[in-house]
């Protein structure tokens, strides 16, 4: 019996151990523990990789979400449109600015923001739209740009799961006014701790984000504005600098894994496989299938039974995200109820994330797929 973890960071580390250890040791030898050359070098190279002018590294992806909206003057009383189907950190960008998150349902195929639903959610208080490139697939940026321009609304991207993803030949990151990334260890490009970044082509906005990141100072002890401590550690910059060189190859390997899963599972009528929209390059941070059934209770039972069956066969799987944002207790004051966003709710009830990482072998993929097929033969 094979064993297939959900993610194998040890395998990745072993493949680049010598380079990573050397880079970390250099930071320690130079005692450049906060920001420093390792971080600035990575910022320059990450910006080039995404064809943008500026990259400002932060202490987490959540901080990046906050900084992007904070620097764009989102304030208390403003409304920010956010998908109901995303990790909760997307919403913190708005709430940390004192703004109100306004949730919108996702498209039934891509699971990204549905532009038609965005239009319906806009009010006189709407100041921004956050386009999340969920699971590694870019959102419908042309449609969202058109809406934002027509309504004079800020458009930003949350690319926490979408490093090197492409939309109509262009890398994510430069498709809006500012874009946040996460370097959480499990991401396609992950640090050895927390880390994030904001990228932009706007010189003035980049300068403002840098000030906000470092206590609102333009130079040491001279504070021009209110700020925060959102600086990246030197060791994280060093690790990311090494790993960035391998990201394109790792991305291609993720796409190989996704293609193999689809080849082996595409004839099963009880599941819906990930859909890749025309004109995008999906980077498959996650490979999420959805259990299909007419009854919600049957869907959840079937999904949970499949998850348990895989675990019994030493295959790890994940749930992303079992409770949509509008049903989270922390947002109950917003007045949403079950049934408000049916597409997001169906995905929460029936979604299951399969193992996905560059080092997955064809034998492992075939083993996972074979067990899924056997499960549905008897269930």
Chain segment 91-121, per-residue pLDDT in tens: 999 999 999 999 999 999 999 999 999 999 9
**Where are any strands of DSSP class E within 177-265?**
178-182, 196-200, 217-219, 222-223
Say if residue 183 is in the same domain as residue 213. Answer: yes
Same-domain status, 309 and 188: no
Q: Does residue 235 belong to any structural domain of this protein?
A: yes
CA dihedral 142, 143, 147, 150 (to 10 degrees): 60
Confidence of residue 323 (pLDDT cuts 50, 70, 90): very high
Tokens of 309: 């069956």
Is the pLDDT reported for residue 51 higher than 90? yes
Give 301: exposed, middle or buried? Use CB within 10 Å, 0-12, 13-18, 19+.
middle
Task: Kindly state whether residues 193 and 264 are assigned to the same domain.
Answer: no
Tell me whether residue 274 is in a domain: yes
User: What pLDDT score does 298 carry?
Assistant: 85
The residue out of 200, 226, 244 marking a domain boundary is: 244
pLDDT tens sequence across 160-211: 999 999 999 999 999 999 999 999 999 999 999 999 999 999 999 999 999 9
Residues 263 and 166 both lie in one domain: no
Q: Are residues 222 and 118 part of one domain?
A: yes
Q: What CATH number has the domain bearing residue 60?
A: 3.40.640.10
Q: Following CA atoms 154, 159, 163, 169 in sequence, which dihedral angle do they give, to the nearest 10 degrees?
A: -40
Q: What is the pLDDT of residues 249-290, one digit of tens each?
A: 999 999 999 999 999 999 999 999 999 999 999 999 999 999
pLDDT at position 214 over 80: yes
Domain membership of residue 161 (yes or no) is: yes
User: Are 298 and 235 members of one domain?
Assistant: no
Domain boundary among 244, 266, 301: 244
Same domain, 49 and 137: yes
Please indicate, yes or no, whether residues 224 and 265 belong to a single structural domain of this protein. Answer: no
Confirm whether 295 is domain-assigned: yes
Q: Does any domain span residue 4?
A: no
- Domain range for 197 is 9-244
Of 244, 269, 301, the residue at which a domain comes to its end is 244
Residue 1 counted as domain residue? no
Q: Nearest to residue 209, comparing CAs of 50, 326, 69?
A: 69
Q: Note the Cα 49 to chain centre separation in Å.
A: 17
Q: What is the CATH number of the domain that holds 316?
A: 3.90.1150.10
* Calpha distance 198→216 (Å, rounded): 16
Assess whether 71 and 138 both reside in one domain: yes
Number of domains forming the structure of the chain: 2
In a domain, 3, yes or no: no
Domain shared by 55 and 175, yes or no: yes
Please report the pLDDT score of residue 299 as a whole number: 86
Is 2 inside a domain boundary?
Answer: no
300/349 same-domain check? yes
Question: Is there a single domain that holds both residue 284 and residue 154?
Answer: no
């Amino acid at each position: 019996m094979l064993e297939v973890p959900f993610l194998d960071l040890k395998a990745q580390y072993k493949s680049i151990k010598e380079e990573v250890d050397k880079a970390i040791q250099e930071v320690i030898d130079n005692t450049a523990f906060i920001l420093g050359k390792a971080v600035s070098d990575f910022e320059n190279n990450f910006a080039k990789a995404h064809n943008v002018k500026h990259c400002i590294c932060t202490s987490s992806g959540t901080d990046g979400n906050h900084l992007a909206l904070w620097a764009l003057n989102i304030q208390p009383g403003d409304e920010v449109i956010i998908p109901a189907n995303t990790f909760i950190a997307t919403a913190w960008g708005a709430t940390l600015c004192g703004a109100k998150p306004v949730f919108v349902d996702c498209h039934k195929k891509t699971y990204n923001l549905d532009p038609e639903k965005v239009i319906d959610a806009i009010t006189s208080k709407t100041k921004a739209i956050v386009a999340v490139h969920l699971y590694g697939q870019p959102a419908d940026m042309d449609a969202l740009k058109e809406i934002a321009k027509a309504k004079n609304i800020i458009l930003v991207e949350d690319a926490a799961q979408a490093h090197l993803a492409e939309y109509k030949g262009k890398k994510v990151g430069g498709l809006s006014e500012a874009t946040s990334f996460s370097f959480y260890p499990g991401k396609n490009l992950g640090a050895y701790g927390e880390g994030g970044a904001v990228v932009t082509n706007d010189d003035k906005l980049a300068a403002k984000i840098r000030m906000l990141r470092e206590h609102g100072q333009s130079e040491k002890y001279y504070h021009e504005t209110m700020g925060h401590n959102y600086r990246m550690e030197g060791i994280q910059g060093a690790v990311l600098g090494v790993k960035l060189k391998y990201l394109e190859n790792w991305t291609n390997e993720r796409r190989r894994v996704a293609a193999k899963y689809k080849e082996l599972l595409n004839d099963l009528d009880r599941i819906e496989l990930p859909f890749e929209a025309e004109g995008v390059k999906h980077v498959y941070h996650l490979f999420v299938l959805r259990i299909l059934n007419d009854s919600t209770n049957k869907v959840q039972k079937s999904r949970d039974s499949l998850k348990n069956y895989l675990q019994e066969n030493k295959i790890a799987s994940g749930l992303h995200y079992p409770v949509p944002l509008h049903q989270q207790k922390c947002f109950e004051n917003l007045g949403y109820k079950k049934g408000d966003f049916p597409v997001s709710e169906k995905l929460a009830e029936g979604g299951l994330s399969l193992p996905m990482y560059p080092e997955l072998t064809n034998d492992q993929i075939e083993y996972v797929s074979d067990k899924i097929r056997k499960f549905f033969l008897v269930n």
